[in-house]
A and B are shown apart, each in its own frame.
Chain A
Amino acid sequence: MSRLLFTKEGPAVWMSHLDLMRTLQRAFRRGGLMLKHSQGYSPHPELSIVLPLSVGVSSVCELADFELEPDCSVPVGEIAARLNPVLPAGIRVLDCFEQGKKAGKLAFLRSELRLTYDQATGNRQQATDPSVAAHSVRHAVPRSDEAEGERISPLASLGRNDRVEALRELFARPSLIVEKHGKNGPVELDLSPMIRSLSVSSQNGREIMIEVLGCAQNPTLNPLLLAAAIERYLPECRPDFVQCRRIEVYDAEMQVFR
């Protein structure tokens, strides 16, 4: 299996995992690269994504494994040049490797969480659809009507440094229980054991950046759950908007995973 390193940014962040699979499969064909197909009643192309990404999260370190038909011999060095002209906006192949490390060796994931405090509109909507509700809890933070009416930042009383301090203290706790929407309804999950390191910083009064290195697999730390933890433990530090970006993946020895 060869391995592709690519980005998922801009409009492409809204594509689902299955959308991305279809898009990559078609891009291979467009680039004149015939993927090997499985045998059987309904043959499907040999292509898999190492660590699926949540909808709405951007990434500069996505990995996909693929195998070409034996008679389609294209050097890995040429793959990016074949794919990039035929990919939709936001997806760009950065590199391609003959053989990737075993997917099971992927251990850590570095992500960036941008918390915005601006009282801006856009995330007030209370989702009623249960599938959407699960999403909104993790992603954008609904705000109550009273808070909206007052137009005063919940952090007005807290200075920028206080806010950063409060968040640092929060993530230093020995246990951080959040509710996660699993397949069989909500389940309680402790984030602390999954966080290997975490830093909080602030460039301006509007934004706080959290950089987190967490478990990539078994279980995976979904960085958006950090926002859920803020909401639960520090409602006064609840951001108006949360954006998440996947930065890098590593193996157990903290070597960049490829």
Chain B
Amino acid sequence: MKKRIDEALERILPNVQKPARYVGGEYNQTVKDLQADSIDLRVAFCFPDTYEIGMSNLGIRILYGIMNQMPGVWCERVFTPWGDMEEAMRQVGVPLYALESHDPVKDFDMIAFSVGYEMSYTNILTMLDLAGVPLHAADREGLHNIVFAGGACTYNPEPLADFFDFFSLGEGEQSTVEILECYRAAKQAGLSKAAFLENVSKIPGVYVPSFYEHRYNPDGTLAEIVPLHGAPAKVTKRIVQDLDKAYYPTKTIVASTEIVHDRMNLEVMRGCIRGCRFCQAGYTYRPVRPRLPETLFDQAVASLEDSGCHEITLSSLSTSDYRYLEPLTDRLTDYCAARKINLSVPSLRADNFSRELMLKLQKVRKSGLTFAPEAGTQRLRDAINKNVTEEDILKTCEIAFAGGWNNVKLYFMLGLPTETDEDVIGIGDLVYKIYNTWKACASNKKRGVRIHVAVAFFVPKPFTGFQWEQQTTPEEYLRRCRLLKEHLNNKSVEFNYHEAKLSELEAVLARGDRRLGALLEAAWRKGAKLDGWMEYFDYDKWIAALEECGIDRSFYTTRGFGLDEVLPWDTIDPGVTKRFLLRERERAYRSEITPDCRHGCAGCGANRLLDCGVCDP
């Protein structure tokens, strides 16, 4: 089969865009010998988007390394082919194959997905179908081709419940190993799939959707969720207790073609102390756990030397909140400057950006500045708990402009709860003030200034303070975009806003329930694929699928969820409690901020996941 696939690829690849992403062979890919390495468990690790996106994902690299460290296990990568490649593969009859061995995915014991974005759901169906694996979990018999998933989207896995045998919630460093061992034991014992699922459901953090019955009220809302087969009423996500001892991929695959984040990644901490009320990651990655600067420096040096990359980024949800940022960047800038390596620090906040840090980052190469005030007025920034003041933003811009920067990117959201036209116009005012700051402080005015304003359509997500909120209608969002545009008439300002229809569907899938499995399948059968890409996103196909399934999208978007309503994701426990989220919602409506974790514990509940029970943010 491999030979047949390789021969067919020789002929397909000249006709597709960027063929290098379909052949593997990169430096540091893991190749094992089925006999010599006594491989008894093969995992096809699938990412439901393109190679360029998937290879930029840190979680994939961590779990790839961890699985391949296990004796007898060979984990290989699989990505979604671009439309031209999918078409060519279907024409010639090449099934979905793994990049390392070019063996068909159908030959693998387990098929694991990492799902991080709602609009990649149809890609999962494309991949299963291209692999020749039945889409529905119920149609897959036996232990061969067990399909499971983890990743950010699995905090509400319900829209995907029909297709997956189980989900792995939270951080997979340990649970993935336990899951694979459980599978191996089941395979050796010749257990049935049902018996395996019962065993695997006993691993903390594993959620088997078929073990829960969802019952609905006549009005379509959820009535109750009934656990079956002795499954737990709540499945709590897993976390790594000590990040300094956790596996980190310092010997990782170096892509042979350009990927989105084509650099080394140093994860300085997990979790975020801030608690922005719209941010799912901010809540679900809790509790906050920093890595020690010594660990990070060693990991940086090891990964840079092994990969040969000339760029490294300090990543986390809010890197300027990393408590050892200064000692770390001090050591790193010296190391990097001597070797002409760029050090980049994304996710800076406007309220604690220092001149010193800026100068350090400038040593090798000057990149653009990006800030996310998210809202235009202080009142709304308080309501969403984005605790950045106008003064902070302007002061930061002042430092940056005086330091020679002339390129600023600003991210905002429209459609936020409690937002009024005043808040929309407030964005225009803020941008104008930033422009004036440049005029007053720029060290070199000849080169002009570029202020990029990017606006996203607010999508209420599960496990946020806004999980119950109504989404604004696309029409109203677009009206607000136009209103903002009228208040951004400056040649130095570039204005972009997200597609309304895409964000509307994203809201449907983010807060969807189990009934959406039919919608996903219908949309996919109508040709929906690569929905996150404007080249392919086709709203009409989704509208037709919604109609065909008799699903009213407003039920999931503009209706909003009742505070007492049973939520589709109520079975999942991500650490933060519902009580806390409800309190955050109430504070939002009073435009009352919640201080960050370092200024006092807000009692979110994520500390319960720590063995010691106490966070050290």
A→B interface (CB under 8 Å): 10-12, 14-16, 18-19, 22-23, 25-31, 34, 37, 41-43, 55-56, 86-90, 120-125, 127, 129, 131-132, 135-136, 139-140, 241, 243
Chain A residues with CB below 8 A from B339, complex form: 34
* Smallest Cβ-Cβ distance to B31: which chain A residue: A89
Task: Check: B23 CB closer than 8 A to any chain A CB.
Answer: yes
How many residue pairs bridge A and B at CB < 8 Å?
116
17 A-B pairs with CB atoms under 8 Å apart are A11-B256, A14-B13, A14-B19, A15-B20, A16-B18, A29-B309, A30-B306, A43-B365, A56-B14, A56-B19, A86-B27, A120-B11, A122-B11, A123-B11, A123-B15, A132-B16, A136-B15
Task: Check: B10 CB closer than 8 A to any chain A CB.
Answer: yes
Chain B residues with CB below 8 A from A11, complex form: 20, 23-25, 256
Contact present for A129 and B17 (CB under 8 Å)? yes
Given contacts A127-B84, A129-B84, contact A26 B254 (CB under 8 A): yes
* Smallest Cβ-Cβ distance to A241: which chain B residue: B11
Contact present for A135 and B307 (CB under 8 Å)? no
Chain A residues with CB below 8 A from B84, complex form: 127, 129, 132
A87 to B26, CA, bound (A): 8
A11 to B262, CA, bound (A): 20
B→A interface (CB under 8 Å): 7-8, 10-20, 22-27, 84, 87-88, 91-93, 254, 256-258, 262, 305-310, 339-340, 365-366
* Smallest Cβ-Cβ distance to A89: which chain B residue: B25
Chain B residues with CB below 8 A from A30, complex form: 27, 305-308
Contact present for B13 and A19 (CB under 8 Å)? no
Given contacts A11-B25, A42-B365, contact A26 B11 (CB under 8 A): no
Having A14-B20, A16-B20, one finds 12 other A-B pairs with CB under 8 Å, namely A11-B256, A12-B25, A14-B22, A14-B23, A16-B257, A23-B254, A23-B256, A30-B307, A90-B25, A122-B8, A127-B84, A129-B17
Contact present for A127 and B15 (CB under 8 Å)? yes
Query: Which listed residue, A31, A34, A37, A88, touches B256 by the CB 8 Å rule?
Result: A88
How far apart are A79's CB and chain B's nearest CB, in angstroms? 15
Given contacts A42-B365, A129-B84, contact A88 B12 (CB under 8 A): no
How far apart are A91's CB and chain B's nearest CB, in angstroms? 9
Contact present for B258 and A22 (CB under 8 Å)? yes
Question: Which 7 A-B residue pairs are closest in the complex by CB-CB distance?
Answer: A122-B11, A11-B25, A26-B308, A29-B308, A89-B25, A30-B308, A139-B14
A37 to B254, CA, bound (A): 22
How far apart are A43's CB and chain B's nearest CB, in angstroms? 6
Interface centre among A18, A29, A139 (most CB of B within 10 A): A29
Contact present for A125 and B88 (CB under 8 Å)? yes
Given contacts A121-B93, A122-B92, A125-B15, contact A25 B27 (CB under 8 A): no
Contact present for A26 and B309 (CB under 8 Å)? yes
Given contacts A10-B25, A19-B20, contact A124 B91 (CB under 8 A): yes
A88 to B258, CA, bound (A): 14
A34 to B341, CA, bound (A): 11
Chain B residues with CB below 8 A from A27, complex form: 27, 308
Interface centre among B25, B308, B309, B310 (most CB of A within 10 A): B308
How far apart are B399's CB and chain A's nearest CB, in angstroms? 21
